[in-house]
């Protein structure tokens, strides 16, 4: 290994930006992590080993990618900004275990790309400092893709991290909390101050780790219907659950009576707010509404 300073050291990051006259695009969420200590903690939180295949989203100028390459078998990184591709080619030239794809992660066929680039028998991990403007769609795509990640370790805006791990009865709890906690055990590993980036974002950040959880039993009769119903239940957060149900099912009196019967049967008060319902309660309710022919 050469004596070149790490890409993520503040001096080298600034030198790379200057040398290439890099036009840093706020609109693409480009904030480069320049705290070596934090990068080491990310690698630890992901429990990376030489056996692992790693997907990274948004390598930027390669600061995190370098750490991933040093601590895993192979890194596959999706970067949307084509001006960064030749830069990455140079900053990461000493590593032979990195593949950079100039692709929008939201348009990529992830299962296909994984199949084409990775041997299937290795652990698969996702590690990324996400572009914050699309954190939720990225997470939803990844979680709903059915890809079996051994772990997901991602940095995001602290406020979004709080929503991911929120428990029922709190303001932060909502459809995103349920989508994540339905599939994974999610934890905030640590928080990261805005001063750790060049340029600094105007929010603080947090690293969240997600690992596959034991599936809920009973399971919802249909995951897509379940997700849609949960989303609808939180559509008007200030209104009661009943009002949200009316927005989902319409105002037909017969339908309303049947919903009331179902709610009685599963012992959920229509006056409750959706944010008080646990994932188990949502599943029981969705299955009961299905049995009643309403879903």
Q: Which residues are known binding-site members?
A: 31, 33, 58, 79, 104, 129
Does 275 engage in binding with ligand SAM (CB under 6 A)? no
Angle between helices 253-265 and 279-291 (to 10 degrees): 130
b/e per residue 5-36 (b: at least 16 CB within 10 A): ebbbeeebbeebbeeeebeeeeebbbbbbbbb
Find out whether 153 and 189 touch, Cβ atoms under 8 Å. Answer: yes
Taking the complex as a whole, how short is the minimal distance between the CB of residue 191 and ligand SAM, in angstroms? 16
Does 60 engage in binding with ligand SAM (CB under 6 A)? yes
Residue at shortest CB range from ligand SAM: 58
Query: Nearer Cβ to ligand SAM, position 93 or 200?
Result: 200
How do 124-129 and 53-57 pair as beta strands? parallel
| C-alpha–C-alpha distance, residues 187 and 162, integer Å | 9
Options 98-106, 161-169, 230-238, 248-256: segment touching ligand SAM (CB under 6 A): 98-106
Does 32 engage in binding with ligand SAM (CB under 6 A)? yes
* Given 6, 17, 24, 28, the residue binding ligand SAM (CB under 6 A): 28
Binding-site residues for S-adenosyl-L-methionine: 31, 33, 58, 79, 104, 129
Those residues whose C-beta lies under 8 Å from the C-beta of residue 223, and which sit 6 or more positions away, are none
| Size of residue set near ligand SAM by CB under 6 A | 22
Query: Nearer Cβ to ligand SAM, position 75 or 105?
Result: 105
Does 106 engage in binding with ligand SAM (CB under 6 A)? yes
* Given 58, 158, 189, 286, the residue binding ligand SAM (CB under 6 A): 58
Nearest Cα to Cα of residue 295 among 240, 243, 224: 224
| C-alpha–C-alpha distance, residues 175 and 166, integer Å | 10
Does 105 engage in binding with ligand SAM (CB under 6 A)? yes
What is the DSSP secondary-structure string of 29-85? T--EE--HHHHHHHHHHTT--TT-EEEEE--TTSHHHHHHHHTSSEEEEE---TTHH
Total residue count of the chain as it appears in this document: 295
* Given 16, 48, 80, 246, the residue binding ligand SAM (CB under 6 A): 80
* Given 45, 46, 55, 64, the residue binding ligand SAM (CB under 6 A): 64
Does 129 engage in binding with ligand SAM (CB under 6 A)? yes
* Given 69, 75, 78, 178, the residue binding ligand SAM (CB under 6 A): 78
Tokens of 8: 């993520």
Report the interface residues with ligand SAM, using CB under 6 A: 28-33, 57-60, 63-64, 78-81, 104-106, 129, 131, 134
């Amino acid at each position: 290994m050469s004596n070149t300073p790490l890409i993520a050291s503040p001096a080298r990051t600034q030198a790379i930006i200057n040398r290439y006259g890099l036009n840093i695009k706020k609109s693409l969420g480009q904030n480069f992590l320049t705290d070596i200590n934090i990068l080491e903690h990310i690698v630890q939180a992901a429990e990376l080993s030489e056996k692992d295949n790693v997907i990274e989203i948004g390598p930027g100028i390669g600061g995190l990618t370098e750490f991933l390459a040093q601590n895993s078998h192979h890194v596959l990184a999706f970067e949307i900004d084509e001006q960064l591709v030749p830069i990455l080619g140079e900053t990461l030239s000493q590593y032979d275990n990195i593949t950079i794809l100039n692709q929008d992660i939201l348009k990529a066929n992830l299962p296909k790309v994984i199949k084409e680039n990775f041997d299937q028998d290795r652990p698969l991990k996702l590690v990324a400092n996400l572009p914050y403007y699309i954190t939720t769609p990225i997470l939803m795509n990844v979680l709903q893709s059915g890809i079996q990640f051994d772990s997901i370790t991602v940095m995001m805006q602290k406020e979004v991290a709080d929503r991911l791990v929120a428990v029922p009865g709190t303001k932060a709890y909502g459809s995103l909390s349920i989508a994540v906690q339905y599939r994974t055990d999610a934890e905030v590993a640590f928080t990261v101050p805005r001063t750790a980036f060049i340029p600094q974002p105007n929010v603080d950040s947090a690293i969240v780790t997600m690992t596959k959880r034991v599936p809920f039993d009973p399971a919802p009769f249909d995951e897509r219907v379940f997700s849609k119903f949960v989303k609808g239940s939180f559509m008007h957060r200030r209104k009661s659950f009943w009002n949200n149900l009316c927005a989902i099912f319409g105002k037909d009196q017969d339908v309303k009576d049947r919903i009331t019967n179902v709610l009685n049967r599963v012992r959920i008060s229509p006056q409750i707010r959706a944010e008080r319902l646990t994932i188990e309660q949502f599943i029981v309710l969705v299955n009961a509404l299905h049995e009643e022919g309403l879903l």
